[in-house]
Amino acid sequence: MGIQHSSRALQKKLLTKMTAIKSEPISDLITIDNQYLDRVTARRTIISKYDKTVHGCLKGGESAVYELYSFLLTHFLPSRFPDLFTLTEKAFHNKVTGKSFPTSPPQDPELCLRILAETIEEDIFLLKETKTTHICLAFACCFPTGFDPSAKLGLDLKGIHGPVPGYEKIGPNIKAEGTGPDLADAIEGLQKGNAPGMFKYKSAIRWGKSVAGYLRS
């Protein structure tokens, strides 16, 4: 399968951190900063401690896991961050952690997910598109916000977002967030819109005021 085809497919399968499905610019798929080592070390500890609570794959999700593994380890990461990740004929090398992994996906999709989860900081949900919705077939999620990610396997979008206050109203109409003052207005609007419970669900009661102030400064 060609890389360009893989890129388009992956963009359609990524569940964003917002409550919506959208295509992300390919360059924005993975972010890395100066805290990368601490974070992926923490993720490795979480994977070891919680195992299948933080990663899983249903029958039928294997091909998506293999595709994502191959794309990230053999193309995207070495190309996007060549100072941090290198390739030999059979191995992917993470120069920050000192870890090496095979370039060919391991047969066990769970192992693929564990490797991905300790290589990138992003939590991942892989979805299969149906005629009417998307179904979660695989995931690697070390930092869920108040939910058990393993409980999302096999669910459609409505089931995945069941705990989100007012999702049945806002789900079809979610739009991209703005920046600066617009984002501050959006944060404060969480408690005023058609799903006011979202303000508490997002824990904005703790951080909303200070973040909005910063965005307007």
Written as six digits, the tokens of 195 are 């799903």
The residue from 118, 141, 160 where one domain ends is 160
Q: Please check whether residues 178 and 155 belong to one and the same domain.
A: no
Q: Please check whether residues 24 and 74 belong to one and the same domain.
A: yes
Question: At residue 146, does pLDDT exceed 50?
Answer: yes
Question: At residue 131, does pLDDT exceed 70?
Answer: yes
Q: Tally the domains of the chain.
A: 2
Question: What pLDDT is attached to residue 147?
Answer: 82
Written as six digits, the tokens of 116 are 């991905």
- Could you report the per-residue pLDDT of 25-40, keeping only the tens digit for each? 666 678 888 999 999 9
Q: Please check whether residues 175 and 144 belong to one and the same domain.
A: no
Confidence of residue 17 (pLDDT cuts 50, 70, 90): very low
Average pLDDT, rounded, for the chain: 76
Q: Please check whether residues 181 and 78 belong to one and the same domain.
A: no
Question: What pLDDT is attached to residue 109?
Answer: 96
Nearest one of 20, 103, 30, 113 to 64, comparing CA atoms:
113
Q: Please check whether residues 183 and 93 belong to one and the same domain.
A: no
Q: Please check whether residues 144 and 205 belong to one and the same domain.
A: no
CA angle 151/154/156 to nearest 5° reads: 100
117 exposed, middle or buried (CB, 10 Å; 0-12, 13-18, 19+)? buried
Q: Please check whether residues 36 and 99 belong to one and the same domain.
A: yes
Question: What pLDDT is attached to residue 134?
Answer: 84
Q: Please check whether residues 50 and 131 belong to one and the same domain.
A: yes
Q: Please check whether residues 139 and 80 belong to one and the same domain.
A: yes
Confidence of residue 115 (pLDDT cuts 50, 70, 90): very high
CA angle 106/89/5 to nearest 5° reads: 65
Q: Which domain holds residue 74?
A: 3-160
Q: Please check whether residues 174 and 154 belong to one and the same domain.
A: no
Question: At residue 139, does pLDDT exceed 50?
Answer: yes
- Could you report the per-residue pLDDT of 162-185, keeping only the tens digit for each? 655 555 554 554 434 447 566 666
pTM of structure: 0.67
Question: At residue 118, does pLDDT exceed 70?
Answer: yes
Q: Please check whether residues 99 and 190 belong to one and the same domain.
A: no
Q: Please check whether residues 58 and 97 belong to one and the same domain.
A: yes
The residue from 160, 184, 200 where one domain ends is 160
Question: What pLDDT is attached to residue 217?
Answer: 52
Question: At residue 205, does pLDDT exceed 70?
Answer: no
The residue from 112, 135, 160 where one domain ends is 160
Instruction: Give phi and psi for 131, each to the nearest 5.
Output: -65, -25
